[in-house]
């Protein structure tokens, strides 16, 4: 089984959450990196290139995403036909962003710091508006999905997330905030999810 991971907003390649996921889930996913503050479609095509460069077409694969990274992996699945890429057999999404225009609005034209690289970046108005091209459709039924929602999430409304995803995925609730310190409680649910393939 191949695993592909994408990070949350404000982080990037080899972020802290990536290493926590590797340790907690006992996997070593390939990282799909998008540009913080970048254009939505440009990011999506860039992630596609990274994905195809590492994909072993003879092996099943699973997407593991965190926050905005989970959103990008969901979008990769929804745009799979247009992008001419295969869909994963499974996805495990942690506190996925559901409505990026709402979630990212507070960052428009305000200098931000990438917590992984400590470099400054800015989400300009045009890049924010590009998220209007995102799709808000149900994922294909053949993709097995587990969505982990933190009930004390300070950035994403957990009730709205649960109301949406309960129709399409297995829901796991935790008491943590948006940033998850320990992913080990999700190791067993991940393996259970993969057994359903």
Angle at which helix 68-78 crosses helix 40-54, to 10 degrees, equals 80
**Mean pLDDT of the 33-44 span:** 98
Distance CA 87, CA 55 (A): 11
pLDDT one-digit tens code per residue, 10-23? 999 999 999 999 99
Quick one: pLDDT band at residue 129, thresholds 50, 70, 90?
very high
155 token code pair: 């950035």
Percent of the chain predicted with pLDDT > 70 = 100
CB atoms under 10 Å from CB of 125, counted, come to 9
Any idea what DSSP says for residue 1? -
Instruction: Kindly report each contact of residues 100-105 with a partner whose C-beta sits within 8 Å and lies 24 or more positions away, as own/partner.
Output: 100/40, 100/68, 100/71, 100/131, 100/134, 101/128, 101/131, 101/132, 103/68, 103/155, 103/156, 104/9, 104/68, 104/128, 104/131
Quick one: pLDDT band at residue 113, thresholds 50, 70, 90?
very high
pLDDT beyond 90 at 188: yes
Give the pLDDT confidence score for residue 138 in this predicted structure.
87
Quick one: pLDDT band at residue 196, thresholds 50, 70, 90?
confident
Distance CA 29, CA 33 (A): 12
Distance CA 30, CA 32 (A): 7
Domains of the chain (ranges plus CATH)?
A: 2-195 (3.40.50.1820)
Write down the pTM of the prediction: 0.97
Give φ, ψ of 70 to 5 degrees: -65, -40
Distance CA 81, CA 96 (A): 22
Give the pLDDT confidence score for residue 77 in this predicted structure.
98
């Amino acid at each position: 089984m191949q695993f592909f991971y994408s990070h949350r907003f404000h982080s990037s390649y080899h972020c802290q959450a990536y290493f926590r996921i590797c340790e907690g889930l006992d996997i070593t996913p390939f990282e799909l990196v998008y540009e913080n503050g970048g254009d939505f479609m440009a990011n999506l095509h860039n992630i596609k290139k990274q994905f195809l460069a590492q994909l072993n077409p003879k092996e099943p694969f699973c997407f593991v995403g965190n926050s905005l990274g989970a959103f990008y992996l969901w979008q990769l699945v929804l745009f799979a036909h247009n992008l001419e890429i295969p869909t994963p057999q499974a996805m495990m999404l942690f506190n996925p962003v559901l409505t990026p225009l709402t979630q990212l609005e507070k960052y428009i034209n305000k200098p931000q710091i990438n917590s992984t690289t400590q470099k400054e970046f800015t989400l300009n108005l045009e890049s924010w508006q590009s998220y209007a091209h995102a799709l808000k459709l149900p994922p294909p039924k053949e993709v097995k999905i587990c969505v982990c929602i933190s009930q004390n999430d300070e950035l994403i409304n957990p009730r709205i997330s649960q109301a949406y995803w309960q129709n399409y995925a297995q829901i796991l609730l935790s008491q943590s905030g948006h940033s998850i310190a320990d992913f080990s409680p999700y190791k067993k649910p991940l393996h259970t999810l993969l057994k359903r393939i």
